[in-house]
């Protein structure tokens, strides 16, 4: 079967949740037995989001192959249960970079290099290459930005051309739009949708299906009006109302018949959707048997998107434990030894987040110390693990003023130091230790028990690591090294003795947690937190020790 391409554009405003709609449609098509992937086309000029501030862009999602990508790829992986790669995220910066590199090599010798056809050809090649790479049944192509934006134009034009390159019947155009409620008039308004569809149609990509975000249900007369003025059938006007949980969206889209319309229009050989496991998960998310509060300590907490995958991994881990984890967002800048008990007093677990730079480090160290001394389950991720090592070195191993050389280059005890291959690297983009690496776990540790196996693979994004020259000293004082990269002998997981659950990981486990495969460390951390909160009775798999 020829690969089919579904283009998803957005209109009227940004933030309509295009990524969730793409992921939800993907889930429904996967549930019908089809081989699906999702690609994000981002119209900005950065080559990738790796150099962008989390306030600007939210989390940088790292794939197995080490690509630094848009956080929507996280939704695709979590919803569809697939693995994405560099090919799944294309930016204008990358497209121009590739075209200009080719131009310098003489690939277009004699030609004037232009947006059309050279940039549009490059965009089309990225889309088709992904489809052909694994012979997918379907590639869902999410076009970032809003229709009418200047920077989206080459993408819309490329998709218009692609419709004819791969055959009109092998493509579908879905437009996500907003039907706002005007309180003064007491009604839903269709005009913004009409204008958005008009703009899209002027570019030659008229939509086959409209997904209409709305705060209120769309009645028949509104649907008929939208259908009539936007050149679609009434069955192709799909309402997308606000949902309690993003994980409900696939079910709501199924109720509205979105997957059915797609299957029919693309003439796909699809079976009935199998959503049994998905429905059970949504049920657990919506009706948990218990609740607990986790403190998430980080410096970007005003912008929750900066920690998107962590938040979702906690939802997955919560569902496995029939529980909901409420997050208490703690701005690390404001935490110190005096207020830490007030801030973290009632929580059942402490998660210290990843990050870069020295802002908020003292607050993170205070949070680690509090969790360690109080025996509160602690989970340190990347920078969070490094903070746990620094705190342990200073307060348990007599290494006064121990630090990471990221924060103090002349510290007497550089317990966290530059990785050798990072020394001398001056360029910022794409130069960290990135992507998936193997890690060997020690049996009987909390990490070892959580995974239930010895060899694991996890994704990385960092420049610094635990300094092997000080490893023995730390271990002599009770730091447990429970995971090591076998190839390079790098410390990947640390724990401490005499604590119910204290785990720091140099990698990013949150990036691999999906609905169908919740991450074992998150499942285990949530369970330890529920035990601490008194919701669950302690079992043998957790160490029976008291806090130091
Ligand atoms: N800044 C630290 C490093 O580069 C941690 C990075 C992270 O938390 N992702 O090693």
**Three-class HEC string of 381-411:** ECHHHHHHHHHHHHHHCCCCCCEECCCCCCC
Q: Nearest residue CA, atom 3 of ligand 1?
A: 462
Instruction: Specify whether 229 is located in the same domain as 262.
Output: yes
- In this predicted structure, the answer to whether residue 465 has a pLDDT above a threshold of 80 is yes
DSSP 213-247: EESS---HHHHHHHHHHHT--GGGEEEEE--SSGG
Active site residues: 382, 508, 510
Ligand 1 mutation pick, 409, 433, 460, 464, max ligand atoms within 8 A of CB? 464
Q: How high is the pLDDT of residue 540? A: 52
CB-based contacts of 423: which residues, under 8 Å, 6+ apart? none
Decide which of 255, 279, 303 is a domain's last residue. 279
Instruction: Specify whether 24 is located in the same domain as 56.
Output: yes
In a domain, 30, yes or no: yes
Decide which of 245, 279, 313 is a domain's last residue. 279
Nearest Cα neighbor of 333 from 361, 352, 356, 367 is: 361
The predicted-structure confidence for 356-403, as pLDDT tens digits, reads as follows 999 999 999 999 999 999 999 999 999 999 999 999 999 999 999 999
Band (57; pLDDT cuts 50, 70, 90): confident
Q: Is the Cβ atom of 354 under 6 angstroms away from ligand 1?
A: yes
Pairing of the two strands 433-441 and 378-381:
unpaired
- In this predicted structure, the answer to whether residue 214 has a pLDDT above a threshold of 50 is yes
In a domain, 285, yes or no: no
- In this predicted structure, the answer to whether residue 547 has a pLDDT above a threshold of 50 is no
Nearest 5°: CA angle at 266, between 262 and 268? 90
Decide which of 259, 279, 299 is a domain's last residue. 279
Q: Could you give the percent of the chain with pLDDT greater than 70?
A: 98
Task: State the Cα–Cα distance between residues 19 and 138, nearest whole angstrom.
Answer: 16
Domain CATH for 314: 3.40.50.880
Task: State the Cα–Cα distance between residues 148 and 104, nearest whole angstrom.
Answer: 32
Ligand 1 centroid – CA 527 distance (Å): 27
Band (170; pLDDT cuts 50, 70, 90): very high
From residue 238, alpha-carbon distances to 11, 201, 260, 534 in Å are 15, 19, 11, 45
Band (429; pLDDT cuts 50, 70, 90): confident
Q: Which two tokens stand for residue 501?
A: 């659950």
Angle between helices 308-320 and 72-80 (to 10 degrees): 20
Band (428; pLDDT cuts 50, 70, 90): confident
Domain CATH for 140: 3.40.50.300
For residues 109-122, average pLDDT? 95
Task: State the Cα–Cα distance between residues 323 and 526, nearest whole angstrom.
Answer: 9
- In this predicted structure, the answer to whether residue 546 has a pLDDT above a threshold of 90 is no
Band (427; pLDDT cuts 50, 70, 90): confident
Q: How high is the pLDDT of residue 9? A: 97
CB burial readout 77-100, b (16+ within 10 A) else e? bbbbebbbbbbbbbbbbbbbebbe
Q: How high is the pLDDT of residue 251? A: 97
Contacts of the segment 188-193: beta carbons below 8 A, 24+ positions apart: 188/214, 188/216, 188/218, 188/222, 190/222, 190/225, 190/226, 190/229, 192/11, 192/12, 193/11, 193/12, 193/226, 193/230
Beta bridge partners, 293, equal 326
Write down the residue that tokens 């709305």 correspond to.
214
DSSP letter (8 states) at residue 118? I
Q: Nearest residue CA, atom 6 of ligand 1?
A: 462
Nearest Cα neighbor of 137 from 283, 4, 38 is: 4
Q: How high is the pLDDT of residue 544? A: 45
In a domain, 201, yes or no: yes
In a domain, 284, yes or no: no
Instruction: Specify whether 259 is located in the same domain as 333.
Output: no
- Indicate which atom in ligand 1 lies nearest the CA of residue 355: 8
- In this predicted structure, the answer to whether residue 212 has a pLDDT above a threshold of 60 is yes
- In this predicted structure, the answer to whether residue 542 has a pLDDT above a threshold of 70 is no
| Cβ neighbours of 482 (radius 10 Å) | 25
Band (422; pLDDT cuts 50, 70, 90): confident
Q: How high is the pLDDT of residue 538? A: 66
Q: How high is the pLDDT of residue 44? A: 94
Domain that holds residue 100: 4-279
Instruction: Specify whether 272 is located in the same domain as 344.
Output: no
The predicted-structure confidence for 491-511, as pLDDT tens digits, reads as follows 999 999 889 999 999 999 999
Q: Could you tell me which residue, 89 or 535, shows the higher pLDDT?
A: 89
Band (143; pLDDT cuts 50, 70, 90): very high
Q: Which two tokens stand for residue 130?
A: 């992904």
The predicted-structure confidence for 119-133, as pLDDT tens digits, reads as follows 999 999 999 999 999
- Indicate which atom in ligand 1 lies nearest the CA of residue 419: 10
Q: Is the Cβ atom of 510 under 6 angstroms away from ligand 1?
A: no
Ligand 1 centroid – CA 518 distance (Å): 24
Instruction: Specify whether 366 is located in the same domain as 228.
Output: no
Q: Nearest residue CA, atom 8 of ligand 1?
A: 354
Q: Is the Cβ atom of 68 under 6 angstroms away from ligand 1?
A: no
CB-based contacts of 195: which residues, under 8 Å, 6+ apart? none
Task: State the Cα–Cα distance between residues 4 and 18, nearest whole angstrom.
Answer: 19
In a domain, 266, yes or no: yes
Q: How high is the pLDDT of residue 286? A: 96
Q: How high is the pLDDT of residue 271? A: 87
E strands present in 4-149: 4-10, 36-42, 61-62, 68-69, 89-91, 138-143
Instruction: Specify whether 48 is located in the same domain as 70.
Output: yes
- In this predicted structure, the answer to whether residue 421 has a pLDDT above a threshold of 80 is no
Nearest Cα neighbor of 348 from 381, 366, 326 is: 326
Nearest Cα neighbor of 321 from 283, 279, 288 is: 288
Q: Is the Cβ atom of 355 under 6 angstroms away from ligand 1?
A: yes
Nearest Cα neighbor of 276 from 515, 438, 492, 450 is: 515
Instruction: Specify whether 26 is located in the same domain as 160.
Output: yes
Instruction: Specify whether 219 is located in the same domain as 191.
Output: yes
Instruction: Specify whether 305 is located in the same domain as 191.
Output: no
The predicted-structure confidence for 324-357, as pLDDT tens digits, reads as follows 999 999 999 999 999 999 999 999 999 999 999 9
- What sign results for the dihedral spanned by CA atoms 467, 473, 475, 478? negative
Task: Report the number of distinct structural domains present in the chain.
Answer: 2
In a domain, 410, yes or no: yes
- In this predicted structure, the answer to whether residue 535 has a pLDDT above a threshold of 80 is no
Instruction: Specify whether 203 is located in the same domain as 135.
Output: yes
- In this predicted structure, the answer to whether residue 548 has a pLDDT above a threshold of 60 is no
- Indicate which atom in ligand 1 lies nearest the CA of residue 356: 1
For residues 512-529, average pLDDT? 97
In a domain, 44, yes or no: yes
Q: Is the Cβ atom of 407 under 6 angstroms away from ligand 1?
A: no
- In this predicted structure, the answer to whether residue 539 has a pLDDT above a threshold of 80 is no
Band (545; pLDDT cuts 50, 70, 90): very low
Task: State the Cα–Cα distance between residues 519 and 531, nearest whole angstrom.
Answer: 18
Instruction: Specify whether 259 is located in the same domain as 382.
Output: no
| Cβ neighbours of 441 (radius 10 Å) | 22
Contact call for residues 118 and 16 (beta carbons, < 8 A): no
With residue 3 as reference, give the H or E element that holds it. none
From residue 34, alpha-carbon distances to 111, 135, 137 in Å are 42, 11, 6
Band (292; pLDDT cuts 50, 70, 90): very high
For residues 283-306, average pLDDT? 95
Contact call for residues 391 and 399 (beta carbons, < 8 A): no
- In this predicted structure, the answer to whether residue 138 has a pLDDT above a threshold of 60 is yes
In a domain, 32, yes or no: yes
Write down the residue that tokens 């121990």 correspond to.
402
Instruction: Specify whether 270 is located in the same domain as 307.
Output: no
Q: What is the mean pLDDT of the chain?
A: 94
| Peptide bond before residue 311 is cis, with ω within 30 degrees of 0 | no
Ligand 1 centroid – CA 405 distance (Å): 12
Q: Is the Cβ atom of 480 under 6 angstroms away from ligand 1?
A: no
Contact call for residues 474 and 391 (beta carbons, < 8 A): no
Band (15; pLDDT cuts 50, 70, 90): confident
DSSP 257-306: THHHHHHHHHT--------HHHHHHHHHHHS-SEEEEEEEEES-TTSGGG
Contact call for residues 162 and 39 (beta carbons, < 8 A): no
């Amino acid at each position: 079967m020829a690969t089919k391409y579904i283009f998803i554009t957005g209109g009227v405003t940004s933030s309509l949740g295009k990524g969730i709609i793409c992921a939800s449609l993907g889930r429904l098509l996967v549930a019908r037995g089809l081989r699906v992937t999702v690609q994000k086309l981002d119209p900005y000029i950065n080559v990738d989001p790796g150099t962008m501030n989390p306030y600007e862009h939210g989390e940088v999602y790292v794939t197995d192959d080490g690509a630094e990508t848009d956080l929507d790829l996280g939704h695709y992986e979590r919803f569809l249960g697939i693995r994405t790669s560099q090919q799944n995220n294309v930016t204008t910066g990358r497209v121009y970079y590739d075209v200009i590199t080719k131009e310098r090599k003489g690939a277009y010798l004699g030609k004037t290099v232009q947006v059309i056809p050279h940039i549009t050809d490059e965009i089309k090649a990225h889309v088709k290459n992904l489809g052909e790479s694994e012979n997918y049944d379907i590639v869902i192509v999410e076009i970032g930005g809003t229709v009418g934006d200047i920077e989206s134009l080459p993408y819309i034009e490329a998709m218009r051309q692609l419709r004819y390159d791969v055959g009109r019947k092998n493509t579908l155009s879905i437009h996500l739009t907003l039907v706002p409620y005007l309180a003064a008039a007491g009604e839903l308004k269709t005009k913004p949708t009409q204008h958005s569809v008009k703009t899209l149609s002027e570019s030659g990509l008229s939509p086959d299906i409209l997904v209409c975000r709305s705060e209120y249900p769309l009645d028949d007369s509104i649907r008929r009006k939208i259908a009539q003025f936007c050149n679609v059938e009434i069955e192709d006007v799909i309402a997308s109302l606000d949902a309690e949980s993003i994980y409900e969206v696939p079910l709501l889209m199924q109720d509205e018949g979105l997957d059915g319309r797609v299957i029919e229009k693309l003439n796909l050989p699809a079976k009935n959707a199998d959503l049994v496991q998905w429905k059970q998960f949504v049920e657990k998310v919506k009706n948990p048997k218990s609740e607990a509060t986790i403190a998430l300590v980080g410096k970007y907490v005003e912008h929750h998107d900066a920690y998107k995958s962590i938040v979702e991994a906690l939802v997955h881990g919560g569902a496995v434990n029939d529980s909901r984890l409420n997050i208490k967002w703690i701005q690390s800048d404001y935490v110190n030894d005096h207020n830490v008990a007030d801030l973290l007093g009632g929580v059942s677990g402490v998660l210290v987040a990843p990050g870069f730079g020295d802002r908020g480090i003292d607050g993170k160290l205070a949070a680690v110390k509090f969790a360690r001394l109080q025996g509160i389950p602690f989970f340190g991720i990347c920078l969070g693990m490094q903070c746990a090592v620094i705190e342990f070195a200073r307060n348990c191993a007599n290494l006064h003023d121990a630090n990471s050389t990221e924060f103090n280059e002349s510290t007497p005890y550089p317990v966290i130091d530059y990785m050798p291959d990072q020394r001398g690297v001056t360029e910022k983009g794409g130069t960290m230790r990135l992507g998936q690496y193997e890690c060997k776990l020690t049996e009987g540790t909390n990490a070892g028990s959580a995974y239930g196996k010895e060899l694991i693979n996890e994704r990385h994004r960092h420049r610094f690591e635990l300094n092997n020259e000080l490893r023995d000293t730390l271990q002599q004082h009770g730091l447990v090294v429970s995971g090591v990269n076998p190839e390079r002998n790098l410390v990947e997981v640390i724990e401490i003795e005499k604590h119910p659950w204290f785990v720091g990981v140099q990698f990013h486990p949150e990036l691999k947690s999906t609905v169908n495969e919740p991450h074992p460390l998150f499942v285990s951390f949530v369970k330890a937190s529920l035990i601490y909160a008194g919701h669950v009775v302690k079992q043998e798999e957790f160490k029976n020790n008291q806090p130091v």
